[in-house]
Structure 1
Amino acid sequence: MISILSKITLKILKKGTFKLLFSHKAVKKSNQLKIGNYNTFTIHENAFEVILGKLEIRNYCNILVHNNAKLIINNNFFMNNYCSINCLDKIEIGENTLFGEGVKLYDHNHKYSSSPNFRIEAREFNTAPIKIGKNCWLGSNVTVLKGVTIGDNCIIGAGCIIYKDIPANSMIINKQEVLEKDL
Structure 2
Amino acid sequence: MLLFKIKYHIIAVFQKIVLKLIYRKQISFGKKTTWRSSFKVMIYKNACVNIGNGCFFNNYCSLNSNLNITIGNNVIFGESVKIYDHDHVFKKSSVLIKNQGYKAMKVEIGDNCWICSNVTILKGTRIGKNCVIGAGTVLSGNIPDNSIVKSN
1:113 to 1:154, Cα distance in 2 relative to 1, 3 A:
same
TM-score (norm: length of structure 2) = 0.84
2:136 maps to a residue whose letter is: G
User: Contact 2:30/2:51 (CA < 8 Å) preserved in 1?
Assistant: yes
Count of residues paired in the alignment: 142
Determine the structure 2 residue equivalent to 1:173: 150
Matched, 1:20 2:18: yes
State yes or no: 1:67 paired with 2:45.
yes
Deviations for 1:100-145, whole angstroms, at most 9, x for unmatched residues?
Answer: 0000000000111235x36413471100000000000000000000
CA distance in 2: counterparts of 1:14 and 1:98, whole angstroms? 15
Q: Which letter maps to 2:110?
A: G
| Structure (1 or 2) with the greater helix fraction | 2
Moved more, 104-113 or 122-131: 122-131
2:5 corresponding residue in structure 1? none
Question: One-letter code of the match for 1:91?
Answer: I
Rate the CA distance shift 1:104–1:25 in 2: closer, same or farther, 3 A: closer
Q: Is 2:104 aligned against 1:106?
A: no
Instruction: Name the counterpart of 1:97.
Output: 75
* Deviation per residue, 1:47-73 (Å, 9 max, x gap): xx2111121110012111111001100
> Of residues 156, 159, 162 in structure 1, which corresponds to 2:136?
159
Q: Give 1:26's aligned amino acid.
A: R
The residue that corresponds to 2:104 in the other structure is 127
Report deviation, 1:20: 2.2
Larger radius of gyration, structure 1 or 2?
Answer: 1
Q: Percent same amino acid at aligned positions?
A: 38
Give the conservation status (yes or no) of the 8 Å contact 1:113–1:119.
Answer: no
Structure number with higher relative contact order (C-alpha < 8 Å, ≥ 6 residues apart)? 2
Matching residue's letter, 1:21: L
Q: In 2, are the aligned partners of 1:110 and 1:122 still within 8 Å (CA)? A: no
The TM-score normalised by the length of structure 1 is: 0.70
Structure 1 counterpart of 2:82, one-letter code: K
Structure showing the higher strand proportion among its residues: 1
For residues 14 and 76 of structure 1, the distance between their equivalents in structure 2, rounded to whole angstroms, comes to: 13
